[in-house]
Amino acid sequence: MTDLSQSVVATIAASIASPSERWRQRARAHLDTLTKPLGSLGRLEDLAAQMVAILEDKHSQPLRKAVYVFAADHGITAEGVSAYPREVTHQMVLNFLAQGAAVSVLARLHGAALHVVDVGVDAEFADVDGLIHRKVARGTANMLRGPAMTDAELAQALQTGADLATDAVAAGETMIAVGEMGIGNTTAASAIACAVTGAAAVDATGRGTGVDDAVHGRKIAVVEAVLQQHFAGLSETAAPLEILRCVGGLEIAAMTGFILGAAARRCIVVLDGFISTAAAALAIAIAPAAQGYLIAGHRSQEPGHALLLERLQLRPVLTLEMRLGEASGAVLAMPVLASALSLYTQMATFASAGVSEKA
């Protein structure tokens, strides 16, 4: 049952409208007047038009970039599906805050404010400075042995994400990368990808943190068993909140709520890799109008990511064979997106530059 979590998302979903088609068409028309051959900026033109449609009359204002990294642990790690122990989640959160992680470096380099959120790490952070404390529980339950979360935990995690999106927009942030940290979360994302797309576990389950063949085979078997336990015999695809409740994790639920909240407030959302795209797939299943606010920052090496990108009809900005997580790929895409919008707002038109157009 997902009555509590359904009540959380229902109001948010009802307030989400698709980005403005009028502004998109206006952007397309303006792009065609710039001093370049028609369409010569390729996908940058598509991205610029999408962002103008999202931001509307605010598109000429400087972008305020931010990155939110949601951290949580997963009970499924008890099944030996990861190359690293779950303690690494806690250790990496500290590394983020100490500015030693990849996303810390990239956020600093590209002028994106880094926000790290503890939504379910199996450790206490006490007086750690700079961390957003929103712990729902100390990790999820083992999804192979039962549901990963209670409905109350799911509702709290969703609300946490939605509230943080509200805070982000109130602080003036207009382009937000969404990422995560959680040992075991590629197993959860693989189960979500299968539940959403109908793909077989062997086609959606990758090597995550770089597991060997034996662990990879065990991981596939675990995903198959999870799907059999929770979703076998259904006549149709399971409801998105039921998928989240059964599979987890808390950080995926928080990202789902954040994506919905950001879309409701007309914010550009830059997805990272497999796990954040799994959250996006669930968000779009809840509120299809949210899709227009999403930009896929990159395509990871995880096979399930390709399945989800195809399902959501999202084309990644970058393909760099990454599989790190942390929102690292999303932050790397931000300079490309900022460039697209700057070209749109700052290039001269044929008329203003006195340049002859094509005969």
pTM of the model: 0.97
| 3-state class (DSSP) for residue 235 | coil
Q: Which of 87, 236, 326, 357 is catalytic?
A: 326
**Residue that has been written with the tokens 């969404």 in this structure:** 178
Helical spans, DSSP H, in the chain: 3-14, 21-31, 43-55, 87-97, 102-109, 151-170, 185-197, 201-204, 213-231, 240-247, 250-264, 274-286, 303-312, 328-346, 350-353
Band (pLDDT 50/70/90 cuts) for residue 237 is: confident
Interatomic CA distance for residues 177 and 275, integer angstroms: 13
DSSP assignment string, 192-219: HHHHHH---HHHH---TTT--HHHHHHH
Q: Give yes or no for residue 233 having a pLDDT over 90.
A: no
118-177 pLDDT, tens per residue? 999 999 998 899 999 999 999 999 999 999 999 999 999 999 999 999 999 999 999 999
* 329 within 8 A of 322, measured Cβ to Cβ: yes
Cα 172 to its chain centre, rounded Å, is: 20
Closest CA to 184 of 269, 263, 261, 251: 251
Query: Residue 127: its pLDDT value, please?
Result: 82
Query: Residue 280: its pLDDT value, please?
Result: 98
DSSP assignment string, 287-309: -GGGGGGEEE-B--S-HHHHHHH
79-127 pLDDT, tens per residue? 999 999 999 999 999 999 999 999 999 999 999 999 999 999 999 998 8
194-229 pLDDT, tens per residue? 999 999 999 999 999 899 999 999 999 999 999 999
What residues have CB less than 8 Å from 196, skipping those under 6 apart?
237, 240, 243, 278, 281, 282, 285, 308, 311
Q: Is 173 known to be catalytic?
A: no
**Amino acid letter, 206:** G
7-60 pLDDT, tens per residue? 999 999 999 999 999 999 999 999 999 999 999 999 999 999 999 999 999 999
